[in-house]
Amino acid sequence: MLGALLLLASTAATPAAAVPQGEAAETVRRIPAAEARQGVAAVPQASSVEIFDPLTLAHKRTVSLGQGTGSLTWIDWHDGHWWGMFANYDAKGGEPPRDHRYTTLVKFDPEWRRTESWALPATILERIAPMSISGGGFGPDGNLWLSGHDLPELYVTRLPKGGATLDHIATVPMEAEGQAIDWDESQPGVLWGISRKSRALIAMRVAAIDSRGR
């Protein structure tokens, strides 16, 4: 008698465990800005990475990533690879039948060849709907920190030990209302964001989050 073992990845709705709330990000600096916003993706969605000289701001190179995954909202270099998130939206800026649930983290090799990708967990999708992820990057603690489009909070994630969905380990309140974020490499633990309401660049001191979301 032959036996067979089937391993199935279930997508059935199951009660999600409560996600810990981390210590709120402390605003430490505010710089007025004439404009502080990100635009909504044009359709059809096509993405490219534009590389500039940091001193002269002269354009140096374009890496075209094409169509079909979503709208690239951020990239980061981490652990010898490029990482980027492709946003998808329910309404304006979206491409049916894809909606916010199709927002995807993609890992590229140094030559921009796609190697792996991950979906967002339901605990983040329910917070960002009907929009998507606007900012992100790997923090000093090794976790991947994400920001949505509207809410003043950060989503702390990590790659899963198995499966194709990121682990959501904590949610951290912040002053910035979502949008772009970036870690300050000269000041470990300081994260920059933007405030559309007050038209300002905001520097925030953020506590590291461990594997238990604390």
Beta strand spans in the chain (E): 26-32, 46-52, 59-67, 71-78, 81-87, 104-108, 114-119, 135-138, 144-147, 153-158, 167-173, 181-183, 190-195, 200-205
What region, left, alpha or beta, does residue 59 occupy, with left being phi > 0 and alpha being psi -120 to 50 degrees? Answer: beta
d(CA 87, CA 39): 12
Q: What is the tens place of the pLDDT at every residue in 179-205?
A: 899 999 999 999 999 988 888 899 999
Q: For the residues of 178-209, what is the DSSP string, one character each? A: SS-EEE-TTSTTEEEEEETTTTEEEEEE----
Say what the pLDDT of residue 11 is: 37
d(CA 183, CA 62): 23
Bigger pLDDT: 44 or 181? 181
Which stretch of 29-43, 78-92, 160-174 has the lowest confidence by average pLDDT? 29-43
Say what the pLDDT of residue 125 is: 97
pLDDT category at 146 given cuts 50, 70, 90 is: very high
Res. 4: pLDDT tops 70: no
Bigger pLDDT: 37 or 100? 100
Q: What ranges do the domains of the chain cover?
A: 46-175
CB 48 within 8 A of CB 62: yes
pLDDT category at 168 given cuts 50, 70, 90 is: very high
What is the chain's percent helix, strand, coil content, to nearest 5? 5, 40, 55
pTM: 0.85
Res. 7: pLDDT tops 50: no
Bigger pLDDT: 166 or 27? 166
The single-letter DSSP state of residue 5 is -
Share of the chain above pLDDT 70, in %: 86
Q: What are the backbone dihedrals phi and psi of residue 29, each rounded to the nearest 5 degrees, phi first?
A: -160, 145
Res. 73: pLDDT tops 90: yes
The vertex-12 CA angle with 129 and 171, nearest 5°, equals: 40
Res. 78: pLDDT tops 90: yes
Res. 38: pLDDT tops 60: no
Q: What is the tens place of the pLDDT at every residue in 124-141?
A: 999 999 999 999 999 999
Give the best-scoring range by mean pLDDT among 6-20, 150-164, 199-213: 150-164
Give the best-scoring range by mean pLDDT among 96-100, 168-172, 209-213: 168-172
- Mean pLDDT score of the chain, rounded to an integer? 86
